[in-house]
Amino acid sequence: MPEIRPFKAIRYNPKKIKDLSLVVAPPYDIIPPAMQEKLYAKHPYNFVRLELGRINPSDDGSDNRYTRAGKSFNAWLKEKVLISDEKPAVYIYSQKYKYNKKYIERFGFLALMGLETGGADRVLPHENTLAAPKTDRLNIMRAVRGNLSPIFVLYEDRPHKILGIFKKFCSAVKPIIDISFEGVRNRVWKLEDGRLIKRIESVMRGKDIFIADGHHRYEVARMYSDEIQDKDLPAELKKNSKYMMAYFVEADEKMLTILPAHRLVKDIGSLTKDETRERLAKFFHVGKAASLSAMISKLGRMSSSYAFGMYLGKHKFYILKLKSAKRSDAAIKDKPKDWKRLDVSILHLFILQHVLGIRDVDENVEFVKDPQDVVQMVDSGKFKIAFFLNSTKAWQVRRIAKLGERMPRKATYFYPKPLSGLVINRFTD
């Protein structure tokens, strides 16, 4: 795997910020405009001002969300609202949350990860990236010269050696951060013990790393590091830019929750509801469900059956179960079998494109996590049809990544997201 190392995190000064929950924020890509405004109003030092600042009508090349983020960052450091830890550390990070009536605690650690160049890359992605988000994040990195938030990566450790180290350490030491945010308890411990850090590095040596969340930020970190190497900038900045902050989590299904993003379709052409059912019945067993909850419950019990929920409006819920995977395999060209057998692949390339002939583009397909919202959006008349999926599994993410393939868009939503504003990695002191 890439080199990992401890670092001196930049953190909110507890003497100046008494309630950290007022200043942290979700990652930039899950902050809608209404939440952005709420975060701005929550506290004058809320992290959203750095992570995802407002766009003003008067913005220009010298005054925009990026220049304002850089100025705020430097001002907060000067005012000692943000301060640096004195010693390099690995930061153990736990998130405890409730899902499906059970409490789950996910342990991981925040450290720096070397950006590999040349040779076989051991950091494996599973999603494609887009130009606009990369330009946005690159401008932020240029402004602050650091990583405001970590990418989320997975590693394999079946004997749970690292998890054992964490649990023993955390049982004896108080966390430096303990806050709740949107129903999730977030705790952080500072691990400075060089002996324990070397043990972690030893376990991690030689492992593949799988990007769970943060594909754009990972690519941007490499772009930024490459672009500054030949510039007249401090040597320390160039050296430190070859590392980025990452949140490492063991790829243990018991600790990982991946939520599905359900699909809504605006335009289905001339298809009627009866024609939709008839076309699907050639390839799927189509059964009715009494309600949304009944459909979701039954769908969850069919997670290994290539099954989907469908809503056509007016309380008409259905369960679709694929009759033969060989039929869908034949319709999906130029992809390995494991890719073809993903639910999201079958939905997009077989159901939407092959069976129904629906335009599968972002302008026509909306992605929504809450099933209740999905039903309301179809009932409003804005969307004609909705499909519900089971979650992609963590082992599928790893398998597709090892094949060098990328999943269809919005195939995974790892929950909960690591908070932004707990720790920052600055490239220079």
Structure confidence at residue 427 (pLDDT): 96
> How far are the Cα atoms of 54, 135, 231, 419 from residue 63, in angstroms, in the given order?
12, 17, 24, 27
> Looking at the structure, do residues 334 and 186 belong to the same domain, yes or no?
no
Say if 125 falls within a structural domain: yes
Structure confidence at residue 118 (pLDDT): 53
pLDDT in tens, 213-234: 999 999 999 999 999 999 999 9
> How far are the Cα atoms of 58, 267, 288, 305, 412 from residue 301, in angstroms, in the given order?
53, 30, 15, 9, 19
Say if 398 falls within a structural domain: no
Band of the pLDDT at 398, cuts 50, 70, 90? very high
**29 pLDDT more than 80:** yes
pTM of the model: 0.92
**119 pLDDT more than 70:** no
**120 pLDDT more than 80:** no
Structure confidence at residue 428 (pLDDT): 87
Say if 178 falls within a structural domain: yes
DSSP string, 3-36: -EE-B--EEE-TTT-S-GGGT-B--GGG--HHHH
Band of the pLDDT at 429, cuts 50, 70, 90? confident
Q: Helices 65-78 and 131-144: crossing angle, nearest 10°?
A: 30
> Looking at the structure, do residues 302 and 243 belong to the same domain, yes or no?
no
Share of the chain above pLDDT 70, in %: 98
Structure confidence at residue 328 (pLDDT): 97
pLDDT in tens, 290-324: 999 999 999 999 988 899 999 999 999 999 999 99
| Sign, Cα dihedral of 294, 296, 302, 305 | positive
> Looking at the structure, do residues 207 and 294 belong to the same domain, yes or no?
no
Looking up residue 272, the CATH number of its domain turns out to be 3.30.1760
> Looking at the structure, do residues 289 and 244 belong to the same domain, yes or no?
no
pLDDT in tens, 241-296: 999 999 999 999 999 999 999 999 999 999 999 999 999 999 999 999 999 999 99
Residue 151 backbone dihedrals phi, psi, to 5 degrees:
-80, 160
Say if 397 falls within a structural domain: no
Say if 286 falls within a structural domain: yes
Question: Rounded distance, CA 201 to CA 162, Å?
Answer: 9
> Looking at the structure, do residues 250 and 268 belong to the same domain, yes or no?
no
> Looking at the structure, do residues 271 and 309 belong to the same domain, yes or no?
yes
Domain ranges, residue 19: 4-257+415-426
Say if 404 falls within a structural domain: no
Structure confidence at residue 206 (pLDDT): 87
Structural domain count of the chain: 2
> Looking at the structure, do residues 21 and 165 belong to the same domain, yes or no?
yes
Structure confidence at residue 117 (pLDDT): 61
> Looking at the structure, do residues 313 and 180 belong to the same domain, yes or no?
no
- Which pairing describes strands 317-322 and 4-5: parallel, antiparallel, or unpaired? unpaired
Cβ neighbours of 340 (radius 10 Å) = 19
> Looking at the structure, do residues 223 and 280 belong to the same domain, yes or no?
no
pLDDT in tens, 356-389: 999 999 899 999 999 999 999 999 999 999 999 9
**38 pLDDT more than 70:** yes
| Sign, Cα dihedral of 345, 347, 348, 352 | positive
pLDDT in tens, 14-27: 999 999 999 999 99
Are 89 and 70 within 8 A, CB to CB? no
Q: Helices 131-144 and 215-228: crossing angle, nearest 10°?
A: 50
Say if 402 falls within a structural domain: no
> Looking at the structure, do residues 376 and 239 belong to the same domain, yes or no?
no
> Looking at the structure, do residues 37 and 8 belong to the same domain, yes or no?
yes
Say if 405 falls within a structural domain: no
Would residue 75 be called left, alpha or beta, if left means φ above 0 and alpha means ψ between -120 and 50 degrees? Answer: alpha
> Looking at the structure, do residues 152 and 295 belong to the same domain, yes or no?
no
Compute the average pLDDT of residues 69-96.
Answer: 98
